[in-house]
């Protein structure tokens, strides 16, 4: 019976060794965790805000995701009707500078804004005039980073003085 018992013990030992040999080496696991953390640094979110930056005074454009968000004062984009725009990224108000503006047709414009980390593309369509100096507008905004991640949202808001 002794040889049979040794055979079982040997089989058990081989089984334990086989299980431990299937694990990844420690440095490989560390490398995977590092790669995941690198991916996380490129992730971002577009957030609503309800207060305009001090730099936006007078004439401006400001937009929410839809008419309900806009009516509640929840904005996604604000610009000074000139070269500067702001969006909230990961909870921080982020400033952009306009680098181009194009009139697509008599009611549609496209603008592109950039900063060191992100770019912003806005396409707006004039709606009806609310009064002499203010027009309702709709559009689409795409926010992207240098790593290629993009977020697109619809916009509803006003531009005017």
- Can you spell out the DSSP letters for the chain? -HHHHHHHHHHHHHHHHHHHHTSPPHHHHHHHHHHHHHHHHH---EE-BSS--TT--SSEEEEESSHHHHHTT-BSEEE-SSSEEEEEETTEEEEEEEEEEEE-SSSEEEEEEE-SSEEEEEEEEEEEESSSSEEEEEEEEEEEETTS-EEEEEEEEEEE-
Domain segments of the chain as ranges: 2-42, 46-160
- pTM confidence score: 0.72
Query: Would the pLDDT of 67 be above 80?
Result: yes
Mean pLDDT calculated for residue range 78-99: 96
**Per-residue pLDDT reduced to its tens digit, 105-149:** 999 999 999 999 999 999 999 988 898 899 999 999 999 998 999
């Amino acid at each position: 019976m002794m040889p049979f018992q040794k055979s079982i013990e040997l089989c058990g030992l081989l089984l334990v060794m086989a299980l431990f040999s299937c694990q990844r080496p420690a440095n490989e696991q560390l490398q995977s965790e590092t790669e995941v953390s690198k991916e996380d640094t490129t992730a971002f979110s577009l957030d609503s805000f309800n207060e305009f930056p001090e730099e936006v005074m007078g004439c401006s454009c400001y937009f929410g995701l839809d008419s309900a968000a806009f009516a509640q004062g929840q904005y996604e984009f604000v610009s000074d009707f000139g070269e500067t725009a702001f969006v909230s990224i990961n909870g921080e108000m982020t400033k952009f500078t306009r680098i181009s503006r194009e009139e697509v047709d008599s009611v549609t414009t496209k603008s592109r804004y950039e900063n060191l980390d992100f770019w912003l593309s806005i396409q707006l369509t004039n709606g009806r005039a609310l009064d002499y100096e203010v027009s309702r507008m709709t559009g689409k905004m795409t926010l992207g980073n240098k790593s290629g991640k993009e977020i697109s949202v619809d916009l509803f808001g006003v531009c005017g003085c």
